Amino acid sequence: MPSNAESSHRPAGSAGSLCCPLCQHPAPTHFASAELSGTPRDYFRCPGCRLTFLDPAALPTREEEKAQYDLHRNDPADDGYRQFLSRLAGPLMATLREHFPDGANGLDFGCGPGPALSGMLRDKGFTMQDHDPVYAPDPALLTQQYDFITCTEVVEHFHAPGDSFALLDGLLRPGGILAVMTSWLMNDANFAHWHYRRDPTHVCFYKPATFQWLADRYGYTLMLPDTNITLLRKN
């Protein structure tokens, strides 16, 4: 289940003074206006990293986020949900076994109230820790380093993605792998009607080019094994 990794930081400013919350580009452009539950929302596009993001003035509160998360029913025992997660787990495990033949320890970042992916990986012999700022907060886990970090349906909730990815980079050992599952924004023309945008807690939307920017920024090797699946290996 997704959970926002950090919702306290809100980039300041009106449309004229916005900067990109990921790369800090000083001149994002207005991308779209679209309604959500009858309320108009403005979205911006960064010309640098290609992130699309919600107007910071409209970001949900932590209480609003949790109310939405509590509606989700992602049962770790549900075969359909496990099959969905296997789209990330499969290529991740293959890459881990190539680079960590003696085993690897990982962090499920934004694990939600019923961690499913971490259980699947434990079943395959990997050591896992679970962290979620809403359902399983454990600051001690953010003082360690890991061979891999999973973020399934999480990064679209980041209010300050630049800060969040910097945190993840610090948690990842050299040679480690950051595994991300999020729906890529591929059809700009359909953005207003896109189901993924209609979740009120989804506030950042990524293109493959955005992950290439992250790879260049942090010195990662970018792998895109499947649609909506991103693996970033720290060099």
- Contact by Cβ (8 Å): 7, 24: no
Using the predicted structure, report yes or no on whether residue 2 has a pLDDT greater than 70: no
Q: How is residue 64 written in tokens? A: 């609003």
- Which SS3 state, helix, strand or coil, does residue 41 take? strand
Amino acid identity, residue 168? Answer: L
Give the global pTM.
0.92
Spatial strand order of the sheet with 204-205 comes to 29-36, 39-45, 52-54, 204-205
What is the chain's alpha carbon radius of gyration, rounded to the nearest angstrom? Answer: 17
N- to C-terminal Cα distance for the chain? 29
Write the DSSP symbol of residue 190.
G
Amino acid identity, residue 120? Answer: M
Residues of the chain with pLDDT > 70: what percent?
93
How far is residue 55's CA from residue 184's CA, in Å, rounded to a whole number? 19
Evaluated on CA atoms 5, 8, 12, 15, the torsion sign reads positive
pLDDT at residue 60 in the model = 97
The enclosing domain of 229 has a CATH number of 3.40.50
Strands 105-109 and 146-152: parallel
Per-residue pLDDT of 116-127, as tens digits, reads 999 999 999 999
**How does the average pLDDT of the chain come out, rounded?**
92
How far is residue 83's CA from residue 70's CA, in Å, rounded to a whole number? 22
Residue with tokens 């990662």: 220
* Residue 72 domain flag: yes
* Residue 99 domain flag: yes
* Residue 7 domain flag: no
* Residue 178 domain flag: yes
The DSSP element (H or E) to which 232 belongs, if any, is strand 229-234
How far is residue 12's CA from residue 55's CA, in Å, rounded to a whole number? 10
Amino acid identity, residue 225? Answer: P
Per-residue pLDDT, averaged over 139-159, amounts to 98
Query: How many domains, in total, are found in the chain?
Result: 1
* Residue 109 domain flag: yes
* Residue 169 domain flag: yes
* Residue 30 domain flag: yes
How far is residue 230's CA from residue 212's CA, in Å, rounded to a whole number? 10
Domain that holds residue 161: 15-234
How far is residue 27's CA from residue 49's CA, in Å, rounded to a whole number? 12
Q: How is residue 115 written in tokens? A: 């961690």
Per-residue pLDDT of 168-225, as tens digits, reads 999 999 999 999 999 999 999 999 999 999 999 999 999 999 999 999 999 999 999 9
